Homo-oligomer: A and B are copies of this chain.
């Protein structure tokens, strides 16, 4: 899937911020050690060190796949530039992201463990990072790639008759948000979190997509605006004009 996504990104010429999740390289360790809820005892320190090590390996795999396609990525690590307080973002140094885009580089970020003023440590999800950067930098679009086709009327794993919602707008967003809030074992909120962040961005004038990154050429179609696929979040406010295209959650 990484190669497939990298193939579709390689030809894209506008500004792009890439953000990957922790996937199987981080979620199981975070969930098992409970560090997402804060630091309680010294045994968790080992989990933090190991999580960072495995997560770093996933970043390297993605990084290499971009280098091999002649892209020029730079890795930026949230633990190094962001802090939380009671789970809310407190500090977030945007300058390296902005400067790397200005230079013509492609910043590569990821969901991460981040130090928390009150709780010691916490999780800053890739979805939350995407919406933060999207709003702070006035992104044109934010794309949330995942492993299902988009947002459904109910959890399709439990309700086989659930239908895909092609468009979320100022009319239907409340019902979509409540339908997407199903219990999840994912360390960072799964679909409910994506929907929440996408609605928040759309309210602030930024177009979003939640779509299946496994789907052949779905990413390319959305990037090139040659087709609508997955669930599109229509901006409420007039969309901002910006050369900075789509922080991309892959």
Contact = CB atoms under 8 A, between A and B. Distances in A.
Interface in A26-79: 39, 42, 45-46, 48-50, 52-53, 56-57, 60, 63-64, 67, 71-79
A81 B80 contact: yes
Interface residues of A, number: 43
Contact of A93 (B42, B53, B91): B91
A74 B79 contact: yes
A107 to B, nearest CB: 10
A143 interface: no
A95 B115 contact: yes
Contacts of A117: 99
B120 A103 contact: yes
A49 B77 contact: no
A115 B93 contact: no
A103 B118 CA distance: 12
A88 B99 CA distance: 16
Select the residue from A39, A49, A105 with max chain B CB neighbours within 10 A.
Answer: A49
Given A75-B56, A80-B77, A121 B93 contact: no
Q: Which 10 A-B pairs have the closest CB atoms?
A: A99-B115, A80-B80, A45-B72, A49-B72, A80-B81, A76-B80, A81-B81, A83-B95, A77-B80, A77-B77
Given A56-B56, A79-B76, A45 B96 contact: no
Given A49-B67, A80-B93, A81-B81, A103 B74 contact: no
